[in-house]
Amino acid sequence: MMKDILGRILAGHFFHNPVFVVGASRSGTSVLLQALGKHPLILSMDGEAPFITSMGGASYLFESAVNREYYINSIKVTQDYLYSSLRRIAFEATFGRHYGLKTTAKAVLRDRGSFLAVRYWCAKTFPDDVVYKGLIGLYRNAKFIYIVRNGCDAVQSMTKYSGFRHQDFEKNCRAWARSAQNFDYLRNCGAAVMVRHEHLVENPETVFRSIFSFLGIDYHGNSTNYIRNTLVHPLDKPTQAKVNVKDALQNRKPSYKEWTGEQRELFKDICGETMQRLEYEIPF
């Protein structure tokens, strides 16, 4: 009980203000999440938080579902109590028990008084448009950062990464196109901002100034420096620090150069429409 109270006190000033990082596989979500966490006003947790998607799906039933009145009348607690419980589960699934007490206590010891200035918590999750509506119902102050990447580069990265390389080329193309289509609604949402992976690499300061302005906080160079000097899981290799990321990525040969003629045609057929929607050209 005491741990719950202490955890709630420590997290209380940012508990209702999540920032959700969203994007297709191998699009830069992990490095963006970690870079955002370098800002002193943002507490982020490495890794993925898919359970948040489940909480958004649950709250959607009470927000926008056709038979929402049925769900509202069916629960034996108030909607406020239910939502409070869902928010706690989402937060603890990301940061740990007792309102993330262990995580927040470490942050307090590390950052001392500056921790009390934290305004947002940040997690990587995977909401479609239905879950988005549910999450907005749960968190009226929620913000979404949607990162997109050229499908050629994303699919090529998937073929090298352990989580996807067991799949054949066609499945990786379909997985990228499906994810990009699922998240496409975020390009036109008031609670979301879209960034491009290539812009993040080429000019991270401009990108982060835009993101932090969107969040209503001052720019901080820590996030920019992290992006410039850290390669996160590059082609299934360990994360590399103190490297010139821009040069390292630009010196790679074009991803599609390794593809066979059949693979190129598959990519055009499966990903062509999505590439066009995201304003990327297919260079073959």
Q: What digits encode the pLDDT tens for the residues 104-113?
A: 888 888 776 6
Look at residue 281 in the predicted model and tell me its pLDDT.
95
Pairing of strands 120-124, 230-231: unpaired
Q: Is 210 exposed, middle or buried (0-12, 13-18, 19+ CB in 10 A)?
A: middle
The pLDDT of 79-105, averaged and rounded, is: 95
Helix, strand or coil, per DSSP, at residue 208: helix
**All structural domains of the chain:** 2-277 (3.40.50.300)
CA distance 257 to 264: 10
Residue/partner pairs of 8-11 with CB below 8 Å, 24 or more apart: 8/99, 10/99, 10/100, 10/101, 10/104, 10/105, 10/108, 10/115, 11/91, 11/95, 11/99, 11/100, 11/104, 11/121
- Mean pLDDT is lowest, of 66-80, 124-138, 262-276, for 66-80
Using CA atoms, how far residue 170 sits from 116, 149, 269, in Å, is 48, 18, 10
| Beta-carbon contacts of residue 140 (< 8 Å; ≥ 6 apart) | 16
Phi and psi at 223, nearest 5°, equal -65, -45
CA distance 240 to 242: 7
pTM over 0.85: yes
The pLDDT of 191-212, averaged and rounded, is: 97
Q: What tokens appear for 49 in the block?
A: 């938080």
pLDDT-derived band at 247 (thresholds 50, 70, 90) equals: confident
| % of the chain beyond a pLDDT of 70 | 96
